[in-house]
Amino acid sequence: MNYKKIYDALVDKAKPRGLDKSQHEGYFEIHHIVPRSIGGSNEADNLVMFTAREHFIAHILLWKIYPEDSNLFHAAWMMSNRTLTNRNSKVYAKLREQHATILSTRCEFNNPSFKDLVGLQKGRLKVLEFAGWTNQAKGKRTSTWLCECSCGEIVTLGAKELTPKSQYMSCGCYKLDMMKEAVGEKNHFFGKKHSDESKEKMRLKKLGKSPINKGVPMSEETRQKVIQSLSELKRVPWVKDVERWLLADYYFSLWETNKEITAAQFSTLYNKLHNDTVNPYYFNTMVKKFKSGWNPEKDLDWRKLKQDHEEERDNRT
């Protein structure tokens, strides 16, 4: 069977949709036509919008086309375990056999300190299977686990996040449910007011936490010095994390098709597209800049950063 021909036909069918989900009804996911693991770029001409079923089929076909690529196998394996996907029993069986073979060759599983968490129930979360390793400080690693929430959402968590002392109890739906239940008359403080004694306690608690110069007007000379210092200060967000901000143009393209989403929602979207476990705080500053109207392609400082990096990379090669 010509899997490459089937895959190309699937891509050609989806290309006319474009990349704007708001122009179509239903659920869609962004997919890299040429996978990044084999050199595909993040440019718009290498992206296509698939339905959940088409996305699943596409990753199965890529696994068939490139059977030796471990990254593509892992993507197909993750897609086959999503609750929204109707599995093909033969395909799933073959994937599971290959996955079991990979796990059996990892010596970490034979280590007495390794704890198998499959089947563990923690709050609304149930551990489905081992999801790989993540690098920690000083060369250490920690195991990650694929978990299913009672609401149907699939999340990947580290072993420490599944310990009894961890606050992780769900994919995030538990906290939202608690907030919904504490609205209006269901709120324990509904219709009540703080007593004068309580107000005085709160006032005293805040004393000493204000700046020393609070309430003291700034002189015009000092104000001008502050304004001058801030204007001369060249502040850019990529000082400490250049590698992340070099991909700002790709993140911006994703954000443009999913505007008005929070950093947490952006993180969930990115993790689903790339089978990753990036925390929301990773995107906080970037999403705030996007919402303020920042476009990396129009920022001369960012473009210079990108150009310098590419020149340095070319010199190394």
pLDDT digits (tens, 9 = 90+) for 50-76: 887 888 888 888 888 888 887 787 777
Between CA 151 and CA 63 the distance in angstroms is 29
Closest CA to 132 of 153, 114, 158, 110: 158
Check: CB of residue 42 under 8 Å from CB of residue 14: no
Are 90 and 126 contained in the same domain?
no
**Domain of 87, in residue numbers:** 3-105
pLDDT for 85 equals 46
Between CA 279 and CA 106 the distance in angstroms is 27
Are 135 and 189 contained in the same domain?
yes
Q: Is residue 250 domain-resident?
A: yes
**DSSP code of residue 186:** G
Are 7 and 38 contained in the same domain?
yes
Q: Which two tokens stand for residue 14?
A: 């989806």
pLDDT for 47 equals 92
Question: Residue 236 corresponds to which amino acid?
Answer: V
How confident is the model over 2-48, as pLDDT tens digits? Answer: 888 889 999 999 899 888 888 888 878 888 999 888 888 888 889 99
- Full-model pTM: 0.33
Are 101 and 8 contained in the same domain?
yes
3-class secondary-structure state, position 88: coil
Q: Is residue 288 domain-resident?
A: yes
Q: Is residue 294 domain-resident?
A: yes
**DSSP code of residue 183:** S
Q: Which two tokens stand for residue 177?
A: 């449910």
Domain boundary among 72, 105, 138: 105
Are 162 and 101 contained in the same domain?
no
CA angle at residue 272 from 268 to 274, to 5 degrees?
115
Are 98 and 61 contained in the same domain?
yes
Number of domains in the chain: 3
Are 8 and 101 contained in the same domain?
yes
Q: Is residue 287 domain-resident?
A: yes
Residue 194 CA from chain centroid, whole number: 41
In the chain, at which residue ranges do the beta strands (DSSP E only) sit?
29-32, 47-50, 121-122, 125-135, 141-149, 154-158
Residue ranges for the chain with pLDDT beneath 50: 83-85, 107
